[in-house]
Amino acid sequence: MFSDKLISRLKDAKLVAVFTGAGISAESGVPTFRGEDGLWKKFRPEELANFDAFIRNPDLVWEWYRYRKKIIADIKPNPGHYALAEMEKRHEHFAIITQNIDNLHRRAGSKTVYELHGNIERNYCIDCRKSYSNKEIIAQEKAPRCTCGGLIRPDVVWFGEFLPQDQWDAGEAAAERAEVFFSVGTSAVVYPAASLPMIAKRAGAYVVEINLERTELSHQADEVLLGKSGEILPKLINACYQNK
């Protein structure tokens, strides 16, 4: 299933980076929240996941995110998430750069995670920037307010907003340094994040794509592994580290 070159490169690598997208979360049952039944079927995410919508109707936007937060809270990491957490233990420098907001990588035990689109388990006041956990505010049916009186919003990147610069800079640096770079569960078409595999390749990394189907990255990757990451990654761990 895996080439000898991949096994050799991964065993010897001191610096490994992994770029993950919706595919790895979908294997845990995280829905895309598009075309949901009931009230939310009437709305497109673009209509709710933006700052103007939040200011215009904070209770509606909060209700949608509260619904999402509750669903994601009950979802567990899958074997792919746990395999990446195990892989981190085997390399001197390891980083996950994720487009996902579900926090499943950290819940699986990964330590170095750069979150390009934020984290749905965090929230902050739009006025004073005070942080709030979901546990502190999830019971509120209307948009929660900070002790300073400001509205509290989810700590996620909305349409029209920039990626968090510190997370992007760290992710880009990890891609540039990587000796082996994995692209897992992403179509790699949304920029600037989609540029990360090629940044790694130009810097000399061995680029591996793991996805259910081929993408625009496939013809440029050094190795393409088609299938579920939750099945492929644990097998790769066994093949690479069982005798190490």
> Structural domain boundaries of the chain?
4-30+77-117+163-241, 38-74+128-156
| pLDDT given at position 244 | 52
On the question of pLDDT at 133 being above 90, the answer is yes
CATH code of domain 38-74+128-156: 3.30.1600.10
> Over the stretch 26-76, which tens digit does the pLDDT of each residue have?
999 998 655 454 445 667 777 889 999 999 999 999 999 999 999 999 999
Structure tokens at 202: 């130009």
Compute the average pLDDT of residues 222-239: 97
CA atoms within 13 A on the CB side of 197: 29
Q: Which helix (H) or strand (E) holds 181?
A: strand 180-184
Catalytic residues: 117
pTM: 0.93
Best CATH choice for the domain 4-30+77-117+163-241 from the list 3.40.50.2300, 3.10.50.40, 3.40.250.10, 3.40.50.1220: 3.40.50.1220
130 DSSP assignment: -
Domains 4-30+77-117+163-241 and 38-74+128-156 share a fold: no
On the question of pLDDT at 119 being above 70, the answer is yes
- Kindly list the distances between the CA atom of residue 137 and the CA atoms of 122, 127, 159, 200, in Å, as whole numbers in the listed order: 10, 17, 23, 40
